[in-house]
Amino acid sequence: MKTSLSQSPIWELQRDYYEQKGVDAWREGEVPHYVTSNPTVARAYAAIIAAYMRDVQPSAPVTIVELGSGHGRFAYHLLKSLDHFHPDLPPYQYIMTDFAQQNIDEWRKHSRLQDFFDSGIVDIALFDAAKTDHLDLQIRGKSLKTGSLKGPIIVIANYLFDSIPHDLFMVKDGQLYEGLATITGMPATTNGLSPAQIIEQIDLDYVYTKVKLPHYKQPALDGVLKHYAENFDETHILFPNTGIDCLERLRKLSKGDMMVLSADKGYHRAEDIDDRDAPGLVNHGSFSYSVNYHAFARYMINSGGKVLTTSYQHHSINVVALLSGDHDFTHTKLAYDANVERFGPDTFFVIKMHLERVLDTMELHEIIAYLRLSGYDARLFKLAMPRLSEITRTASSDQQDEFYQVLRNVWDMYYPLNEDMAFDIGLLLYELDFYQEALEFLEQSRDEVGPETPTLYNMALCYYQLKEWEQARDLLQEVIKRKPNHRDAKAVLKRINGNLT
Ligand SMILES: C[S@@+](CC[C@H](N)C(=O)[O-])C[C@H]1O[C@@H](n2cnc3c(N)ncnc32)[C@H](O)[C@@H]1O
């Protein structure tokens, strides 16, 4: 069956994938998320949001709506950055949303989000970017509908526009065509196959049919399409009809202005639109496309707004800001310049990739410098862990004290998915001779991940150093019961038994 790309059944597979997987999509590493959800992106967004509030001087609370919050990690990083770097902001509320209820259920019980929920700043709502036009807040029980908000709305969409329905158009010899999609490669029977297994096997074929404007009978969409028909001769255009329509729906919630902050793989320059082939699906359990930010920018410019983009094409992640309303946005532009154009998420990611190649030669003060640069990023810490285990003990005592504080900060910025960071931090604190603190982290690891043998063994070592012989002995006996050949455990137990007799 041929349909507009946005009506293709592939989007149902996408929905099934996210609804069935929930947060496991990221826990299992199937869907990438680091590049859009690290402290550097959050710090950049926080700076831009603070500058935007300065520019628009809101007379009513600002509402920040995050679309496709997924794992919830970005919300945590951003809320921490807003709190820490911008403590005097005008009042705002932050609404985490997704179309998968499973994700929402996970945020509800996530330890890192409880204080934010309790403070009344953060709420959550089921929101389908393809169709929903209101927000039913699940914590406060309020409903936000057309015109409900007096203050401005800030929309955050990271790795979201690449995942929601698009249409496809082609311009050939100045004539506009629509690409009607058919799924190919669909297995004869899908019984017993997961959405990811089906997505892996399928592809799309297109036939092209002439288009007359207005095509959508929606000025926001037809205005952008007209621009493409009139300004390009020969190209394919992945058209974010759902994304633009979603922004229109969200814009109507507020009587005020709107800012959109979005990070994704995608292109924004006119030269990147020319001469493109039909786009391919990128598979990662679910699937995604490269986002046509040029179309979003055209949409915002057509409606009298402004757009902030980098002067260069990104390597890993593109960050754009769309701004509606009649302001000159002086501070917002400067914040974008400092936090995206000059040094931002894309540059940081390149630096991090380079760091990975040299980590095993680095000294403690150098790793500390990168951890600070990264905003105490737990992923970077995890990557550095093998090297840190080698060098921590030999650092000077001043440096060890400094590193202790860095570890505290890494922990504070960490939003657990399943990395067992508490165990790693516990090990390093032990190396730093902070035995009581090491014990607390190892206990936390035991409580969250379960009583793994290495955790119990290292807890025993902490008790040993603290001269709490009986606790150390009990744990070592448990370790030896599980691993009768654990020679180190036996040696420590022997020493303890000597102390106890
Ligand atoms: C690629 S993940 C991005 C998650 C997170 N924002 C990040 O940057 O890592 C896409 C997220 O969007 C959600 N999603 C996909 N289609 C959606 C739709 N139509 N409406 C709302 N959320 C959607 C998925 O459930 C998932 O959480």
Q: Compute, in angstroms, the gap from residue 387 CA to the centroid of ligand 1.
A: 34
Which runs of consecutive H residues, i.e. helices, occur in 374-486? 378-391, 397-413, 421-431, 435-449, 453-465, 469-482
Task: Please report which confidence band the pLDDT of residue 191 belongs to, taking 50, 70 and 90 as the band edges.
Answer: confident
Longest dimension (CA), the chain: 94
Task: Please report which confidence band the pLDDT of residue 294 belongs to, taking 50, 70 and 90 as the band edges.
Answer: very high
CATH T-level topology, domain 349-500: 1.25.40
Q: Compute, in angstroms, the gap from residue 100 CA to the centroid of ligand 1.
A: 8
Report whether residue 25 contacts ligand 1, using a CB cutoff of 6 Å.
no
Strands 318-323 and 291-292, sheet pairing: unpaired
Q: Is the pLDDT of residue 499 over 80?
A: no
Q: Compute, in angstroms, the gap from residue 455 CA to the centroid of ligand 1.
A: 35
Task: Please report which confidence band the pLDDT of residue 338 belongs to, taking 50, 70 and 90 as the band edges.
Answer: very high
Q: What is the DSSP string of 255-317?
A: SS-EEEEEEESEE-SGGGTTTPPPPPPEEESEEE--EEHHHHHHHHHHTT-EEE--SS--SS-
For residues 434-456, one letter each, b for 16 or more C-beta atoms within 10 angstroms of the residue's C-beta and e for the rest, the string is bbebbbbbbebbbeeeeeeeebb
Give the DSSP H or E segment for 176. strand 175-184
Q: What is the DSSP string of 97-139?
A: EES-HHHHHHHHH-GGGHHHHHHTSEEEEE--TTT---EE-TT
Q: Is the pLDDT of residue 307 over 90?
A: yes
Report whether residue 36 contacts ligand 1, using a CB cutoff of 6 Å.
yes
H helices then E strands: how many in the chain? Answer: 20, 18
User: 125 - beta bridge partners?
Assistant: 97
Determine contact, residues 238/165, Cβ cutoff 8 Å: no
Report whether residue 70 contacts ligand 1, using a CB cutoff of 6 Å.
yes
Ligand 1 atom closest to the Cα of residue 69 is 6
Q: Compute, in angstroms, the gap from residue 122 CA to the centroid of ligand 1.
A: 18
Q: Provide mean pLDDT across the span 210-223.
A: 96
Give 457's contacts (C-beta < 8 A, 6+ positions apart). Answer: 475, 476, 479, 486, 488, 489
Give pLDDT tens digits for 253-269. Answer: 998 799 999 999 999 99
Give pLDDT tens digits for 102-124. Answer: 999 999 999 999 999 999 999 99
Q: Provide mean pLDDT across the span 213-232.
A: 95
Q: Compute, in angstroms, the gap from residue 67 CA to the centroid of ligand 1.
A: 7
Q: Where in the chain is the domain with CATH 1.25.40.10?
A: 349-500
- Give the CATH number of domain 9-164+237-341: 3.40.50.12710
Give pLDDT tens digits for 415-462. Answer: 999 899 999 999 999 999 999 999 999 999 999 999 999 999 999 999
Query: Which residue is closest in CA terms to ligand 1's atom 2?
Result: 159
Mean per-residue pLDDT of the chain:
95
**Percent of the residues in the chain that have a pLDDT greater than 70, as a whole number:** 100
In terms of Cα–Cα distance, which of 311, 19, 253, 49 is closest to 154? 49
**Percent of the residues in the chain that have a pLDDT greater than 90, as a whole number:** 92
Residue 501 has a pLDDT of 62
Report whether residue 264 contacts ligand 1, using a CB cutoff of 6 Å.
no
Report whether residue 98 contacts ligand 1, using a CB cutoff of 6 Å.
yes
Q: Provide mean pLDDT across the span 291-306.
A: 97
pTM for this predicted structure: 0.95
Q: Provide mean pLDDT across the span 172-193.
A: 92
Q: Is the pLDDT of residue 51 over 70?
A: yes
Q: Where in the chain is the domain with CATH 3.40.50.12710?
A: 9-164+237-341
Residue 410 has a pLDDT of 98
Place of tokens 């309020």: 142
Ligand 1 atom closest to the Cα of residue 36 is 8
Q: Compute, in angstroms, the gap from residue 356 CA to the centroid of ligand 1.
A: 28
Ligand 1 atom closest to the Cα of residue 70 is 27
